Structures are given as C-alpha cells and as structure tokens.
Amino acid sequence: MKPGSWLKAIPVVLVVVGYPVLMHGLLTTGRWPAFTLLLALAPFGLLPLSLLGAGQRLWAAVAAAALLLASTWGWEVLLLRHDLIYLLQNVGMQGLMAVVFGHTLLPGREPLISQLARRIHRDDYSAEIARYTRQATWAWTLYFVVMALASIALFVAAPLEIWSWFVNFLSFLTLGGMFAAEYAVRRWRLRGIRHLGFVQSVKLYWEKPAPADEPPTRATEP
C-alpha cells in the first residue's frame, strides 16, 4: 500500500475502532447522557446524505426531517433511553445488510455474491460457481438476521454491559470469523478456481464493466 493510502486509512481506522470503544464506555458508565445520545444519533445523519448522493432527494428530505423532529421534539425522551437509539442503530444496520443480500435471492434476481463472481470470472463463470455463490449469499443473509435477533434478545434479557460488549466488540469478531469461514469454504468448494482477495473483489465490483473483447482481470492470491 502506498504511504498516501496509509494516511487516508488512519482516520477510518480511528473511527471504526474508537467509536465502539467510546460508546461502550459511555453506555456502561451512564456518564454524559447528552453526548452519548449525540454519538448514537450521529450515524443516522449519514442516511440523508447517502440518499442525496444516490439521487433520492425526496427521501433524503424525509429522512432529514424525521431526524430533526426526533432530535428536537423527542430530545428529553430520547435522553432518558439513549440505549434504545443505539439498539435501533445496531439492529437497523444488521437488518439493512440482510435486506441488501436477501432481496437478491428473490425469484428473477441474481444473488449478490453471484453478481460479484460474474464480474471476477467473466467467461470462466460456471454453474458450480453460481451454485456456491447463491448458497454464500444465503449464508450472509442468515448471518445478519441472526445478529439482529441476538442483539434484540441480549438487550431484553441480559444486563446492559453484556449487550454492549456484544454489539461493540463481539459482533466485529463474529464478522471477521464469518469472512474467514466463507473464504475457507470457498477455497475448498471451488478448488482449482482463481480467487481474488476481499479488497480486490470489492474494487472490481464497483468498477465499470470492461469491454467484451478485453481479457478477464487476472486474479491474485490475497
């Protein structure tokens, strides 16, 4: 990785690591409830921006208005139960990812991981790859559903500290474990087929399709 890329990655790493650590400390100690609520609401502020970036101006305005109303009229109520906002944030993200993967499994649609595999393998894309990637898409969909249900169950039945440990730390470990397990199964199930690393795969998915007469991208081992 180039030095400039490392510098760009530092703020991202600080946010990804620092945010859950800070939220865990605030939730479990009960200090600075107003600051805790602001931090819990912060990711919701990205929703209007994301919708605006996607060209959905109407829905961006609706999301911004809802966020504004919730943070003004309902501030005193939210201040008493800011943990509910963080629960909504966590379950909402898990549910959103389940929908992103799951809706591609509907009849007439191509599974999300199959779309990625088609971009990677192009002419080498086979029925075997299609069968595996459909199963992998199902696995990721179920993973996010289970994580959302587990978060709700722990929030209701377990002490706040246990739930906070789960959503702020254990969930990242399970995500890493899911990536590692899927990669190991893929290498075993699709032996003899070239594989791209995770970062390369994501970059390739968002690139514009190459011309039909251009040779497929050569895969390299991560």
Please report whether residue 182 resides in a domain: yes
Average the pLDDT over 95-117 and give the result: 92
User: Model confidence over 38-53: pLDDT tens digits?
Assistant: 777 777 777 777 767 7
Task: With CA atoms as reference, report the closest residue to 140 among 96, 180, 168, 102.
Answer: 102
Q: How far is the C-alpha of 99 from the C-alpha of 96, rounded, in Å? A: 5
Tell me if 19 is assigned to some domain: no
Query: Is residue 29 assigned to a domain?
Result: no
pLDDT of residue 219: 41
Average confidence (pLDDT) over 83-87: 82
Band of residue 190 on the pLDDT scale cut at 50, 70, 90: confident
* Number of domains forming the structure of the chain: 1
CA–CA distances in Å: residue 90 to residues 21, 171, 209, 214: 15, 10, 34, 42
Residue bearing the bigger pLDDT, 33 or 12 = 33
Structure confidence at residue 216 as a pLDDT band (50, 70, 90): very low
Q: Confirm whether 85 is domain-assigned.
A: yes
Q: Give, as one character, the DSSP assignment of residue 158.
A: S
For residue 16, being part of any structural domain is answered with no
Tell me what percent of the residues of the chain surpass a pLDDT of 90: 29
Angle between helices 171-189 and 127-157 (to 10 degrees): 160
Does residue 109 surpass a pLDDT of 70? Answer: yes
90 is in which domain, residue-wise? 81-222
**Residue 193 confidence (pLDDT) above 60:** yes
Q: What is the pLDDT of residue 207?
A: 58
pTM: 0.75
Average of per-residue pLDDT values in the chain = 78
Q: 44: which DSSP letter? A: G
